[in-house]
Structure 1
Amino acid sequence: MSQLHFYVPDEVETQIRIRAKKANLPLSKYLAELVKRETCAQNQWPAGYFDLFDAWQGEPQNRPAELALETRNSFN
């Protein structure tokens, strides 16, 4: 497992420690979960992506007529 080292302003550190304590997690685990959540969010569909579906503006799509069902002999 990799270790990361980074710097944050003192005010940010205070807020991170408060939130980790509220979540009842050690600071390192809280930060790891936060990073995982943020990086996994990038693997999601973009906002509004599914609004494109059923938004066709052109001629209506016409489906050909269905064929009659074939009657088959049974195996009995």
Structure 2
Amino acid sequence: MAQLHCYVPDDIADLFRKKAEKARLSTSKYLALLVKKETSEKWPDHYFDLVGSWEGEPLQRPESLDYEKREGLE
């Protein structure tokens, strides 16, 4: 497994440690989770489950405005 080293300001490191602790993970595992999330090219699990689930008032599209007329390309 590869090891990555980085330098961050002390205040950022403190915030990072607190977030890792809140997630009940070591800083190494928490960082690995963030890197994996940021480098993944797939959609998160259940991302599309919300499509069509709106239960409020029907959404209304505002009336379209006229487009400006421009000169054509020569």
Q: Aligned-pair distance for 1:25? A: 0.3
**Larger Cα-atom Rg:** 1
Q: For structure 1, which runs of at least 5 residues remain unmatched after alignment?
A: 46-76
Q: CA RMSD in A?
A: 1.2
Q: Secondary structure at the match of 1:30?
A: helix
Aligned residues: 43
Match of 1:11 in 2: 11
**Sequence identity percentage:** 56
| Aligned structure 1 segments of 4 or more residues deviating by more than 6 angstroms | none
Q: For structure 2, which runs of at least 5 residues remain unmatched after alignment?
A: 44-74
Q: Aligned-pair distance for 1:44? A: 4.3
Q: TM-score, normalised by structure 2?
A: 0.55
* Residue type of the alignment partner of 2:18: I
* Residue type of the alignment partner of 1:25: L
* Deviation digits for residues 41-66 of structure 1 (CA, Å, limit 9, x no counterpart): xx247xxxxxxxxxxxxxxxxxxxxx
* Residue type of the alignment partner of 1:8: V
